[in-house]
Amino acid sequence: MLSPGPIALERTKPHGAEPSPNAVERPALRGTASAQVNTTGAAVEGRSPIADPIERIAFDPTSSLKRTAPKRPGRVARFFRETLKTAATLLIVVLAVLAALVIWDFYVTAPWTRDGRVRVQVAGIAPQVSGQIKEIRIVDNQYVRQGDVLYVIDPFDFQVTLDTAKAQLRQAAADLQVKRLQAERRQHLSDLATTPEEQQLFVGNAVQAQANFDAAQQQVARADINLKRTQVRSPVNGYVTNLLLRVGDFANTGTTNISVIDADSYWIDGYFEETKMAHVCIGDRAEAALMGYRDPIVGRVETVTRGISVSNAAPSTQGLPSVDPVYTWVRLAQRVPVRIRITDVPPGVPLVSGMTATVTIRRDDAPASTTWLGTGLARLATLLDDIVYGPQPSPGCVPRIGDENGATVILPTPKPVAPLDPEQLTPGLAPGIDQSPRVQMPAHPGRAISK
């Protein structure tokens, strides 16, 4: 007869009993009892007790303990783990310092600015003569060459003036010829036929006729040039801009009515902060990237502006300087204009005055190295030197102002011209009333007047 198993004992146990300290071991005992029951039942039924491998694994107490027991890392593994943490921390610190240096160099000392502008010279064309505009030969934004006619002023009045001046010139030429012959004839007469006073008078008339002839020639030249000025021409190669002129308008002398952009005068102004001027040298390579275009415009630093406006220098009452008493702790760096001469423009990039550009200065005397590592280390050394000791400008970057002694240069004062003596203009014309004049006044080239 079989003894009662653990299951029957568990049923007879009261529910309110507290678990004993050995309650953890009961599942294992319970599993063993179940195995014994299964073995006994199998023996009664006449079959061999074959246990299920899955159940054996599931209820194996030793395998459960081996699977849940943690393994402690070795000493070598802990050492490598701590070393890796320290190296990662040092690497992060080094990268942070390098990033701070690069950002400091990029935003504080590196010679670049986003405040750049494309500049150009504009020729304001004004007529040199006045008149009504008869013809306009251009349109707005048209490209014109130097010497092309822009518009024409009515030439009628100027043609009349030229014809009148030519008529007066012929009259002066005839008068000069007659008076020269009269003076020459008087010089060949004897003292019985003429007097020295009469000879002197005729010679003087010939000289006056010569002066009138010269003045008439100048009047013809002036009338001729004024007639040519009725055709207003372009003084430069460029583009006509903002054309508002029309046929029938009256052109006044000296009043600008057409503007032509000089296509050969483009340059770029970069307004650099004064903290970056130590790295700007005349002759350095400059790159200007326009907004909306990838390829930069290449140029060279040509000049550096030597003066900007100072608000405290404005005179107040009685001509005294007006100084602002407010001085803030944070001072904004002043902007210094740097003029860049354009040497190369990428294809397809139009130059329009007023366009915004990011200007970057590339030093030609930067330390050269065969590897990128050497270049980076040289750049890092220069950056650390600038941070510790301040930026050091290269000698000869910008020409000095004044001489070595600092002496003030005094401009020479022009002296007034002494009045001329009439004898200097016509020597020997009136030596005396009782003497016959001996004036070298040739009627023709190489011929002198004599008695």
Position 168 in a domain: yes
pLDDT score of 2 more than 70 = no
- Tokens linked to 19: 């678990």
Same domain (yes/no): 270, 252: no
Count structural domains, the chain. Answer: 4
pLDDT score of 10 more than 80 = no
What is the predicted pLDDT for the residue at 428?
Answer: 65
| CA distances from residue 358 to 108, 171, 276, 299, 337 in whole angstroms, order as listed | 16, 69, 15, 13, 14
pLDDT score of 300 more than 60 = yes
Same domain (yes/no): 176, 248: yes
Position 34 in a domain: yes
Same domain (yes/no): 146, 233: yes
Same domain (yes/no): 164, 40: no
Q: Kindly report the CATH number assigned to the domain that includes residue 132.
A: 2.40.50.100
Position 420 in a domain: no
Q: What is the mean pLDDT of residues 36-46?
A: 45
Q: Which of 224, 241, 258 is the last residue of a domain?
A: 258
Among the residue ranges 102-116, 141-155, 292-306, 328-342, the one predicted with the least confidence is 102-116
Position 88 in a domain: yes
pLDDT: which is higher, 364 or 200:
200
Same domain (yes/no): 141, 52: no
Same domain (yes/no): 176, 230: yes
Contacts of 99 (CB under 8 A, 6+ apart): none
Expressed as residue numbers, the domain containing 95 is 79-109
Position 414 in a domain: no
Q: Are the beta carbons of 284 and 336 closer than 8 angstroms? A: no
| Whole-angstrom distance, CA of residue 136 vs CA of residue 451 | 63
Q: Which of 195, 226, 258 is the last residue of a domain?
A: 258
Name the pTM for this structure.
0.65
Position 271 in a domain: yes
Q: Are the beta carbons of 113 and 271 closer than 8 angstroms? A: yes
Same domain (yes/no): 97, 42: no
**What's the Rg (C-alpha) of the chain?**
54
pLDDT score of 404 more than 90 = no
- Tokens linked to 255: 């009043």
pLDDT: which is higher, 402 or 294:
294
Q: Are the beta carbons of 125 and 232 closer than 8 angstroms? A: yes
Q: Kindly report the CATH number assigned to the domain that includes residue 293.
A: 2.40.30.170
Same domain (yes/no): 207, 290: no
pLDDT: which is higher, 166 or 389:
166
Position 320 in a domain: no
pLDDT score of 33 more than 60 = no
Same domain (yes/no): 145, 218: yes
Position 365 in a domain: yes
Q: Please write the tens of the pLDDT for every residue from 82-108.
A: 899 999 999 999 899 888 877 877 777
Q: Please write the tens of the pLDDT for every residue from 408-429.
A: 667 777 787 777 666 666 676 6
